A and B are shown apart, each in its own frame.
Chain A
Amino acid sequence: MPDFMVMISADESRDAQLRAAEMKALVEGDSAYEEKLREVSAFLDAERLRPSAEGRRVSVRDGEVRVEIGPFGEVALAGYYLVQADSLDAAVKLADECPMAPGSALDVRPVMTGKLRPGKSDAQGRIFAFAVLGSAANEQGWIDVMDRIDASSRDNFPNDRMLGGVRLHAPSQGRRVVASGNQRAIFDGPFLESKEVIGGLFFMRMTSIEEAVRWASETAFVKIGAVEIRELWRS
């Protein structure tokens, strides 16, 4: 059965407006949702990320390493569910029941290769998510960027720190679920209008975000594309 990544993009400033009762409802909704995914054997993994204000984006332009401190825009990657489903439609159906706050969106993207280690939270030390970003004028250009990153980064990972990762199929192979009011709408990909699109996600153990930035700035990820580094919430 294929794997799908359901990425939650949240409008962090709207999240910060939530009332206490809404926070409680959202948290309870998430627990119930995870339980439900487990019941139908769809659940593979889920994590939440610390606020983007604590994150970093690293890229190399004109030979110079650029480190940007978050937030990086109005919406930020807030977390994900990794699910297995028979088809994209089945995965979208699962995603459609995922609780989300107003202003959030869910991107359902098929996994191309790779595995995530479940139970990352049991690992010792601090764990950082590295989102690999690529930008291009069109989808084929974006796929080329991701292929180049993939080819030049295969042997890059220090094994003792690596906690798994996935590469995702192009945006056109996915769907987006958007919440507005009580309604939800499902859109087809691609979503290349945003300047940088996630092509993969991996996790590594690091002692600090500075160390994570140092490590990333030496890699092909930032020389060809860019990397957004975010610590996990571990909750």
Chain B
Amino acid sequence: MKAVAKYFSDIFRGVKTLLTGMRVTGYYFFHARKEIITQQYPENRDTLSMFERFRGEVIMPHNENNEHRCTGCSACEVACPNGSIEIIWSRKPDPETGKKKKRIEKFVYHLSMCTMCGLCIPACPTDAIVMGKNFEHAVFDRSQLTKILNKPGSRLMAGVEE
């Protein structure tokens, strides 16, 4: 008798769980218009915004006076596991004050070697570099993947070193 009861309760439970599953997918089907996740990529370029934690490439933000926050301490270069970052710095005299001071000539970033691990970002003591959201990196020549992140003529933002 117990076995018979189990047989029918099995059927009942099976049907119930299957219907539960069908209700979930059925909801998706009939609400597909507003719930669809897929985006049509090249068409939606104008409105496309990647999520906040997306790591596309390393960029160095500059303010409107063409100033960045990089002191050339090379902490990011040390932190990088692949050697994607090379900082070429110098002690040339400052054109305004005449004092000799360490500053960056070129912040070289090899995108071709970068794995987007993001270890350089927390390593930076002055928050000079961040992760950009651009992911369209295809080029026809790999030399274009070696980028100079500091813009020409840019200088260190005042007050970063204090």
Question: Do A and B actually bind?
Answer: no
